[in-house]
Structure 1
Amino acid sequence: MSEVKNSLTGQADDGARTPRPFMAGKGFKSATAHEAAKQEHGSLARFLKICAAGTALAALARPVLAQSEQQAAASAHLFTSSQVVGVSVVIGVISAALLSTLWLVRQRGNLENESREIRSALSDAQQRISQYQALIADKNRRIVIWDGNSRPELLGQLPPETGAPQDGEFLAFGLWLKSHSASELEKAIDRLREAAQSFDMVVETIRDEILEAQGRVSGGRAFVRFVALNNLRAELAELRIERDRLITSISAFQTMLDAIDMPAWQRDPAGRLTWVNQAYGDAVEARSPQQAINEGREMLTTVARERIRATTTPESPFHDKISTVVRGNRTFFDVVDVKVPGGSAGIAIDVSDIEAVRAELERTLKSHAETLDHLATPVAIFDGERRLQFYNQAFVALWELDIAFLEGRPDNSELLERLRAAKKLPDQLNWKSWKEAALSVYRALDTQSDLWHLPNGQTLRVFATAHPQGGATWVFENLTEQVDLETRYNTLVKVQGETIDHLSEGVAVFGPDGRIRLSNPAFRALWGITETEAKPGTHIRALGEACAPSYDRPDGWKTFAELITSFDDERRSSQGTLELFSGLVLDYAVIPLPNAQTMLTFVNMTDSVRAERALTEKNEALRKADELKNDFVQHVSYELRSPLTNIIGFTDLLRTPGVGPLNERQAEYIDHISTSSSVLLTLVNDILDLATVDAGIMRLNYAEIDLNDLLDDVSMQIADRLHESGVALEITAPAYLGTIIADPQRLKQILLKLLANAANFSPEGTSISLECHREGTDFVFSVRDHGPGISPDMIATVFDRFATGAKSGKRGGAGLGLSIVDSFVSLHHGDVTIDSEPGKGTTVVCRIPSVNIPHSAAAE
């Protein structure tokens, strides 16, 4: 039976349950717990009523059941099996009702006990809530609670003197907290709500009140407590804020010092570096300021540091200029070093440029003083107290004053009195007024000038200029020489006028307005105008109209008028030639003069022009004759080469056995004919080549030439000629000369002509040498013989045409070989030189440059 009761009640053996408060929302809610208890109590009451009704029914059925049992026992034999089952069901229902009644009675007792416990816990909770609310209601603290995304709840309040709002504007921290405190607090609250990161911090209101803010997370809620601090805690918080402010200021100050280009440093009491800025590190060539501190790199010398340490006191900082070496250059710094309780601090300002400017200013002032001292114009400078500060030698020579008096720095008024006493100033009716007018320059804004007529006959123009900082400068210009110069100038002008009037060239001078200032008779005679038409003041256009009958062309007087009246910044000169209707040829020149004046000159060149034209006509005739000569040479050369070719061909044919045998005399004649024909053909070819060069139609056929093959070919072709002359050929060249881009045929002709010329003048049994080498891309070769040489007066003509040395050579010739060599070398843009001494042979050196790209070139 007890097991059944336990299964029904579920807590029969547990005894009384411990009462616990109901937590809901944002704290204890007593009203909600009370309503839940009332609902549960009402359900139990209804259930108990139902159970009581069942119990009553069971009580009413109990006599009936007893009677039925007695009857059943008396007449057991009278019931059927269905009756027995019905009776059993009734008995079971009655038993269940009894058990339910017992359970309900026990449950009712438990509910009453729990109700009493709940009411007791509710009363305790309400009492604690009242205590908490009384505690939170303290004016020295306020709590802000966030529960999820719901609106925050505000509990408590802060003192009014803090300036904290009591309404919903409390969370607008920027309205009542200082900007840096509001910014840090908002960031801390964001971290608290998002990452559950607690914080403790001190904030400062705009009324300079100190609050302590504590952020925590509990039960899934985030809350921040604001506490108004008492005196000690507020003072501690203020000290913390002041410390943070000082740390920030020091950091900003050090950052600023790192940014400026002035070395700064801090030292401990022992003089060791504890902090330097970036400029200091750069000055001592350290990779970073920390390296300069670790290695103790000093920018100032030991003597300078000891001097600073010895002279610096807390009341009197060190301030002086110090010279040191920075990055290998001598540098001047304006150093300021102060002593502080923890050591010292200093800064250095680079004043090298200022020192250089100061030194340059001193040199400039000294140079100006020296310059003024060497001027011929007297100069005197007075300071702000009107005392003589500077004077030059010309000033001493002008007034003939005592040096001792001037070195005593006299007052300007005293100086004028001394000059008046020496009778060196102009005589004045009212001396006092004149002196005051002269000394008024110290109060004047503009420069004052005056003429002083001295008793000794000199005339001075005096300029007095006041200085902005006080004082004045007096300049005495001696006009005596100027007057003499003006007199002489007027005399010179008259002389020049007379001179111009007697010139054979026509001269006219015009002003900037285009009007004539002067003209000479030659000008009027050349243009056939009268003196009235060319009188001073006549405009150039009117003068052009007067000269129109002699010369009326657009390029005449209109051009002169444009040049004379032009407003160009740079005035142009012009010259040329014009021919008048009368046949006179004039050379004109437009020459700018000072003061914007212009001179127009005309020279009669009629006789010279006529002579020049005659010479030009003769020269043209000679040029045409030269052209005819060239045409004749070319025609004759071509006409001669054709029959010579036939003669040489038939001579070679007569030598062949097929024609028939020749006797000895015929063979000798045939050899002479062949030799003469070859010489004549060579001469004709040479003449034709020279004519082609002279006509400017010679073209070079550039090709790449192997120089070693070229030398082999030349040595084979010249072998017969060398054998005939009885001389040997020595070729000196590197094993491989390379290639060159030139005309193969003309280059071969150059070598053959030089070798043939050397063989012609070399004695039998000697040798001629051919030396070849390369200089860059140039091909340089020289031919040397051991002949009689050339006299110095003949060297200049060896390259001339038809210059022969037949008297000393084995063979005579037309003298065209070296001329052809010179022409072909020039066509290759090379050069040829000759060196010879009588009795020591001759050396000809040629340089042939190589072209970059093969092309055809015509002779110029």
Structure 2
Amino acid sequence: MPGEDPLKAGQAVAGGHQDRAIAARPSAFRQRLSPRGRFARLLCGTALVLPFHALAARAEDALVKGTSVPISTMEVIQLALTVGVVGAAFVSAIALIRERQRTAAENLDLRGRLADANAALQRSEALLNLRDQRVVVWPAENKKPEIVGSLPMETGAPDDRAAFLAFGRWLMPRSAAALENAVAALREKGIAFDLVAETQAGAPLEIQGRKGAAHGIVRFVSLSEAQRNLARLKLEHQRVSAEHDTVLGLFDVLKMPLWMRGADGRLKWVNRAYWTAVEAADRDAALRDGREFLGSQARDAIASEHKSRPVFEQTLSTVIAGDRHVFAVTDFAGTDGSAGLAHDISAADAMREEYERTVRSHADTLDKLNTAVAIFNADEKLRFYNQAFQKLWGLDTAFLSSTPDNVLLLDRLRSAGKIAEQPEWRRWKENLLSAYRSVEPVEHWWHLPDGKTIRVVGNPQPKGGVTWVFENLTEKIDLESRYQTAVRVQGETLDNLTEGVAVFGPDGRLRLSNPAFAQMWELPAEAVLPAVHVTTIRDLCAGRAKDGPWAGFVAAVTGFDDERRDHHGQTTLENGNTLRYAVIHLPNGQVMFTFVDVTDSVNVERALKDKNDALLKSDQLKNDFVQHVSYELRSPLTNIIGFTELLSLPGTGPLTTKQQEYLDHIGSSSSVLLTIVNDILDLATVDAGIMQLDISEVKVEGTVKAAAELVADRLEEHAIRLGIDIAAAPKSFHGDETRVRQILYNLLSNAANYAPEGSTIRLACRETAEGVEFSVQDDGPGMPPDVLDSVFRRFEPRVNGGRRRGAGLGLSIVKSFVELHGGSVRIETGENRGTTVICTFPAAPAGIRAAAE
């Protein structure tokens, strides 16, 4: 069919000459016809060829018949169109054939190029997959990088993709950090880099980073042996350079002048302390001007010393900023120059001189003590002794000045009969000298042949050695013995007296009584036991006497009179007996009641008076002893605290951690003991009736904050919070501000001792009809009824779930000081529901009143 083979169809119509002409110009025709136009012409030629066939058939029939056939104009037009269409069809067929040939040629060329590209890709992959290199390719967009190639096993580089990209796991830290920074700069800014990195296996790698149009490429190359050596040298040079810079940086920030000189002796480098000391503008100015730190004589001495040995060490002096300083100079001379360092020891020399003066002052102080003191050094040699030591043992001064050791001194005392003979002398001596190996003070008691009793305390020193203190306690023990004898005599005397005697303490409770007291008032045995309150006895005795005096007795025991006066009286009992009584105020706030049956003989009365005088003397002796011991304790405690603080100063000398801990324990324990002594003295002053209140206007807010600050450290130690509520409190009231602050401090300290960890203590103040009321509440275990009865009793510490055990004076002081103001104290508590202590102060006390508990 013509449509299937256009070339043959053209030959059938036009004889082929026109087709050859068209075929001779295929290129020009192909250029003029687009594929869409050629296809259209081909369709037209195929469709219009049918009329041409019809006309040809008619002409052939006419020729056969021999007749003329007239041809109309329309037929001519159809013939012309048919011829044109057929020509166009031929041209289109030829153009299509040529296009197919060109397309086939282009496909063949593309297949060749693709084969070449595949071959090139295979060659590239073969090159990249060599064992001595690995390439990481990052696409421009945020996609996972591709990794090609591998590195030798001896480099230590992992084959796993994730492990390889974690550079810090197989590269040295310095190399990993440098590579991470370089890769980040390559990907973000396109900055190329060349690095030499070191793996953790010690193998050097050359790393190159380049940025393409769409990719970032990092290439890891394992180096040859020569390249490895060069890379190792580069790495070593980098390390040395870094260490050199670090060392110079350290030298530059040292507070000690440091200098370096070249082989010609000229300054090559100095640190900041050097050019500051020589008053140069900067380092370059010091080097340029040749500013010397040491004088010419000192430099000559250094140069002379270097001729014999490379190290120079000596103390030299120089002038800095107009002042002369002493330096410990160390200078080292090498093959290419020297370096020196100067350490300022002027302050150390001044501290050494101060220490020597302190030691001399300490020795002078010890020499004036009545207590014998001897100090031995770490070699157990006698280093110091005071006059009391020499007087106690009666030793020759020449012998003591010869610095005998401790063993020789003990043997000398033994041979002279100064100390008692021991059954096992060697073991006793070793036990005594174990103080040199101890870290805590040791104590011994020596009973000397002459009857003296010596308390020996060996106190180890921080730098070795022991300070021996020999305290003569003969008189003290004798005094205590006589005191105990007097107390026993007093007890026996009271028990055998026919007069009734009852002594009540400052808390209103019975301290002691004799059987005659219970017999006269017909009291049961349980009513006259110690700690029974005076009001209990009053209730029992109220119906046994006409117009009984017990109301006055209670007032005398618990009242706060301006002046405590003794008085006498007489009462008649319901059974007809007549008693003469005496109210006697004893020291420490105690009150003694004596009862005499006046129906007895005068001799009994006289005996009672004599015994009463003896009792007063005994009590006075006891009171004087307690006051004497209390006041005498303050001086040594003050000395202990002072010397503890002195030992804590850096100038005294370095202490080990254990020694500092022991020193802290000594200081804290001494402070606690001093607080206890002060509390005892305060209570003694209150009991003696000589305590005076300094009445002034007390600012509530300031006083509460001051008391809270005093206990802040203890509260913080146990994570205890303090809640303060003074919204309903007055701005001020009249009282003794110091005592009020002491009351609040004792209440907060007591609450902090019992409050659980992480709980809250509430301090509140409000104005009431009676005056001003302070309350302190904690969430502790509370107080059982038996403890509540004795909570204000002195010297009865109670742990009851608390953290520490005190002297039992805190609440006693609170009660005494509140009642001195004319106020009152009450406690609201119960087991497992906390404790609230409430103190009520009058807004304006009538005046200063003495305690009379």
Query: TM-score if structure 2 supplies the norm length?
Result: 0.45
Query: TM-score if structure 1 supplies the norm length?
Result: 0.45
> Which structure is richer in relative contact order (CA contacts within 8 A, separation 6 or more)?
2
**Which structure is larger by alpha-carbon Rg, 1 or 2?**
1
